[in-house]
């Protein structure tokens, strides 16, 4: 059947059908875009979630990197898992200690008693002395500097308030000739206030070959020097 213009069928119906086909195609294309957008967004979200999980895993692994050194996971202490630092105890052996009451600055006096050829009560030396926390000691003697007024020693504790000292010096005569080494040994005890000590000493002067030239023995007393000590107290 044809219309008056010679076209088969109803032209309006055909046009309407073509438009429907086009509209369906457009709708399908639009739906396809929407589907692609949905898939793309889902992919981005999944990728972001994966990256976030990976970052958390790396951060956790970095915080526990020290545990890699241990082959036994169960042996890791809970403090490590909580992120608290652990420190290995370290100790350093010393001869003395900062807590030893002998440590400090002193004014000492060496008085002869029982020495051959030297009257008892004779002051042999009146030095400044420092006892150090590392177990060493240094003395500035009242001897003439040309004969060597500085000497050094080491000490150790022998009781709650008692100490022994082994001390060496290099002796010279007044012409700057080397005489030989001298050894001073002390056994001293602090009083309860730790501001004075008393004890005995023995000094032996040797020649350069180690032969004994002289020996002096006697008593030693000392007072502690503080930031409040006056010059009159140490004269």
* Proportion of the chain above pLDDT 70, given as a percent: 58
Residue with tokens 């009146």: 126
Check: CB of residue 196 under 8 Å from CB of residue 109.
no
Instruction: State pLDDT tens for residues 7-19.
Output: 445 555 555 655 6
Q: Decide: pTM greater than 0.85.
A: no
Q: How far apart are CA 115 and CA 145, in angstroms?
A: 24
Check: CB of residue 94 under 8 Å from CB of residue 194.
no
- More confident call, 133 vs 39: 133
Residue with tokens 């526990």: 64
- 149 and 54 within one domain: no
The tally of domains found in the chain comes to 2
Residues 103-134 as b or e (16 or more Cβ within 10 Å = b):
bbebbbbbbbeebeebeeeeebbebbbebbee
- 126 and 76 within one domain: no
Check: CB of residue 152 under 8 Å from CB of residue 168.
yes
Residue 19 in tokens: 């438009």
Radius of gyration of the chain (CA): 48
Note down the domain range covering 66: 11-81
Q: Which of 81, 96, 121 is the endpoint of a domain? A: 81
Q: Is residue 222 part of a domain?
A: yes
Q: Which of 81, 115, 140 is the endpoint of a domain? A: 81
- 151 and 56 within one domain: no
Q: Is residue 87 part of a domain?
A: no
Give the confidence band of 39 by pLDDT, cuts at 50, 70, 90: low
**Residue 110, SS3 per DSSP:** strand
Residue with tokens 């000492």: 108
Instruction: State pLDDT tens for residues 116-145.
Output: 999 999 999 999 999 999 999 999 999 899
Q: What is the mean pLDDT of residues 71-79?
A: 38
Q: What is the mean pLDDT of residues 166-179?
A: 94
């Amino acid at each position: 059947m044809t219309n008056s213009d010679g076209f088969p069928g109803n032209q309006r119906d055909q046009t309407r059908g073509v438009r429907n086909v086009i509209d369906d195609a457009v709708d399908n294309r639009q739906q396809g875009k929407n589907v692609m957008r949905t898939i793309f967004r889902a992919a981005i979200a999944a990728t972001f979630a994966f990256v976030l999980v990976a970052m958390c895993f790396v951060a956790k692994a970095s915080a526990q990197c020290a545990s890699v050194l241990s082959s036994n996971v169960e042996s890791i202490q809970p403090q490590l898992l909580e992120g608290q630092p652990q420190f290995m105890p370290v100790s350093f052996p010393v001869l003395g200690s900062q807590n030893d009451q002998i440590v400090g600055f002193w004014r000492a006096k060496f008085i002869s008693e029982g020495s051959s050829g030297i009257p008892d009560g004779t002051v042999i030396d009146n030095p400044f002395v420092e006892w150090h926390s590392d177990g060493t000691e240094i003395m500035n003697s009242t001897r003439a500097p040309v004969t060597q007024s500085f000497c050094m020693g080491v000490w150790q504790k022998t009781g709650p308030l008692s100490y022994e000292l082994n001390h060496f010096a290099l002796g010279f005569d007044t012409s700057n000739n080397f005489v030989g080494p001298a050894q001073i040994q002390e056994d001293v005890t602090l009083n309860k206030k730790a501001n004075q000590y008393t004890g005995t000493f023995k000094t032996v002067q040797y020649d350069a070959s180690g032969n004994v030239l002289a020996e002096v023995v006697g008593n030693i007393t000392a007072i502690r020097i503080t930031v409040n000590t006056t010059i009159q107290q140490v004269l």
